[in-house]
Structure formats: structure tokens, C-alpha cells
Amino acid sequence: MRDSATRFLASRPGIILVGTLIGVLATLLQKLGNPPNMGICVACFERDIAGALGLHRAAVVQYLRPEIPAFILGSFLAALLFREFRSRTGSSPIVRFFLGGFAMVGALAFLGCPWRALLRLAGGDLNAVIGLAGLAIGIAIGVAFLRGGYSLGRTHPGKPVGWIMPAVMVALLILLLSHSSLLFFSEKGPGAMHAPALISIGAALLIGALAQRTRFCTMGSVRDVILMRDTHLLSGVAALVLAAFVMNLLLGQVGWGFSAQPISHSNHVWNLLGMVLAGLGFALAGGCPGRQLFLAGEGDGDASVFVLGMVTGAAFAHNWALAGVPDKMVDGVLRVGGPGPNGQLAVLIGIVFCVVIGFTMREKLEV
């Protein structure tokens, strides 16, 4: 039974089924209360968690999004059940921390991680096309480094390491479900929009478990095509977009255009460059923000450090006004948003950081 499930989920029909399910669940979570075109957004949700914990004080983006802990716990349970849980760490954790931090800065300049870029596209937000192009460029640069021998080195077994993140995630869920006074909760803005917590937890546990089994990864889908002409992961990502688009049509959640899209800006240059940085950061760290969560769940201490880097990056992004500002209509005139001067400088510094890492973290090619 376990073996046949593993074989199916490793197959192309398996990854297509999981991509479809993620697309359907994401649009339903949006219908049930999550923000527009943000049924699931790993970067935005980690940013909201940073706000809920008081690491930044942007009052409109503070909510302990239960999807993130549930993704990790879903993956954790699946890895335990299928005997794939392996506590490990030691592959350049400090580099991964900063890659996570800068990838978050890039994603928040665009206003979304790759998952949200796909969901924005499925909702008719054409700025997502620019963002996804930037993502692909960033990943292509990462692939060039990989071909040149880029490596963050080997992990080593570390017995209790892999249990820390799942334990912290359980604690976060307890804080949320008990409506703890330790947490900040937005009263308006995107942070105040959310699906019922138990439904979010159930959906995210399922996605976490299936993504652990299929190795679903948005960054990997592009990387594998460029690097090996392998379209396995890409077929799952395509299924996600298609399923989300059909669901959005059925639910009346599609609105085509560039301007004044929900929680989005049409500053094309910084949509592109923000996602170049994000794509490069994810490629150098070996996984998209979702995949990093699933790896953290199956015992990977280094992926956990990347996640903590993203949360820290989100805190800085709002404390230092680095994040993109959505487009706004003022007296009937469109005011184009995007990152301000601080955010633009941070994106450029992030790209320089990633390029330096790409050039310097190289191993001699043995074969």
C-alpha cells in the first residue's frame, strides 16, 4: 500500500494530481477569506507571521497564518509515516540564512513568492507574467552557477535538529488557536483577511504531506527544464495554474489586467528585478519557499535556517520600508506602486550578494 502510493506520487500523473489539488485548495482558501490572489503565498504568510510575533509593526500584515506551520507538520507526518524523516544539518547554514533573507526581500518587492505569482496569473493579474519571467531569469543564473560547480556542501546527521521546527510549529498553532495575547492580529488590511483557521490547517496539512511525497517545487520546475530538459515538476506547476484558473472562473475571481490588481503593483522593472533576486536565492538554496518548508518538515535543519532567514528578511522588509507598495487609485488617477528607494537598493544588494555566493561557493568538479 505504502509502496504503491509512493510509486504513484513519484509519477507524472501523481505530480499533476497534486498540482491540481493545490490550485483548487488555494482558490477555495481565498474564497473562504484569505486575501485576493493569495489563497497560498509562502512569502506573504511568513511576513504575516513575522508581524504576528511582533518582529515588525506594520499593522495591516499581522496574522499567524496557520498554513505555514501546517505545511511543515504535514510534511513531518508524511516523512515519519514513509520512513523518510532524517535529521540533518551542516550545509552552509549561515549562507542559507542570508539567501532566505534576501530572497524574501526580492519576493516582497514583487509582492509574492512563486506560488502567489502563479495564483496571481490564474486570477488574471498580468504583472505575474513579468514576475515569473524575472523568476526564470534568476533561476537560469543559478543554473549557470550549478553548472560551474556551485555547492553549499554536504549535510551531516544531527539527531535532534530535525525535530526543532516541527515542535516550534506546534507551539505556534497553540498560540493561534488559543488566541494568545502574545500575538498581534491585524484589524484591517490583508492581515485581517483569512479563512477559518481549522480549514486552513486541514488544507495545508494535506498539501504539506502530498508535497513531501511528490517533492513539489516551483523553482525546481524551471531549474530542471533548463538544466536537464526534465518537465516532471513543471507538469505539476502547470496543473496548479490551470486548476486555479478554472476554479477562479467558477468562483468569479478572475480580473484581467496590469493596473490596480489586488495587492499588486505594475512597476515592471522592480517586479522583474525583485523576482530575479528571489529566483536566484531559491536556486542557490535548492528549493522554492514552499519546498524549504517541506524539507524543514522532513528533518532538514538547513532548510529550517533558510525559513528563519525569510522570516527575518520579512521583518526587515517592513521595518525598513523595503517591501513593494500596491498600486492605488487616487482621485481617479492610478498611482503606480512598487518598492521605494530603500527597497530598490536592498534588491540590488541582494543580487550582488547572491552573485558573490554563486562565484565563491564552488567545489572542484570531480567528475
Tell which residue, 91, 141, 31, 56, has the closest CA to residue 312.
56
Minimum gap (Å) between residue 154 Cβ and another protein: 3
Residue closer to another protein by CB (options 76, 184) is 76
Tell me: does residue 224 bind another protein (CB under 8 A): yes
DSSP classification of residue 284: H
List of residues 6+ apart from 363 with CB closer than 8 A: 149, 151, 153
Q: Per-residue string for binding with another protein, 269-288, x by CB under 8 A?
A: -----------------x--
Tell me: does residue 152 bind another protein (CB under 8 A): yes
Tell me: does residue 362 bind another protein (CB under 8 A): no
Tell me: does residue 235 bind another protein (CB under 8 A): no
Footprint of another protein on 81-120 (CB under 8 A)? 82, 84, 86, 88, 91
Q: Per-residue string for binding with another protein, 202-221, x by CB under 8 A?
A: -------------x----x-
Tell me: does residue 227 bind another protein (CB under 8 A): yes
Tell which residue, 82, 46, 112, 158, has the closest CA to residue 265.
112
Minimum gap (Å) between residue 105 Cβ and another protein: 23
Minimum gap (Å) between residue 146 Cβ and another protein: 6
Q: In terms of residues, how long is the chain?
A: 367
Is 282 in contact with 139 (CB distance < 8 Å)? yes
Tell me: does residue 1 bind another protein (CB under 8 A): no
Residue closer to another protein by CB (options 83, 188) is 83
Q: Per-residue string for binding with another protein, 53-82, x by CB under 8 A?
A: -----------------------------x
Name the helix (H) or strand (E) containing 280: helix 268-285
What does the alpha-carbon distance between residue 219 and residue 277 come to, in Å, rounded to a whole number? Answer: 12
Tell which residue, 94, 99, 104, has the closest CA to residue 316.
104
Is 132 in contact with 345 (CB distance < 8 Å)? no
Residue from 77, 80, 137, 146 in contact with another protein (CB under 8 A): 146
Size of the site for another protein (CB under 8 A): 26
Tell me: does residue 344 bind another protein (CB under 8 A): no
Tell which residue, 291, 275, 330, 348, has the closest CA to residue 96.
291
164 in helix, strand or coil? helix
Minimum gap (Å) between residue 198 Cβ and another protein: 31
Footprint of another protein on 311-330 (CB under 8 A)? none
Q: Could you give the C-alpha distances from 328 to 48, 107, 117, 332, in angstroms and in order?
A: 21, 20, 20, 9
Burial class (CB within 10 angstroms; exposed 0-12, middle 13-18, buried 19+) of 66: buried
Question: What are the residues binding another protein (CB under 8 A)?
Answer: 10, 82, 84, 86, 88, 91, 146-147, 151-152, 154-157, 215, 220, 223-224, 227-228, 230, 232, 286, 365-367
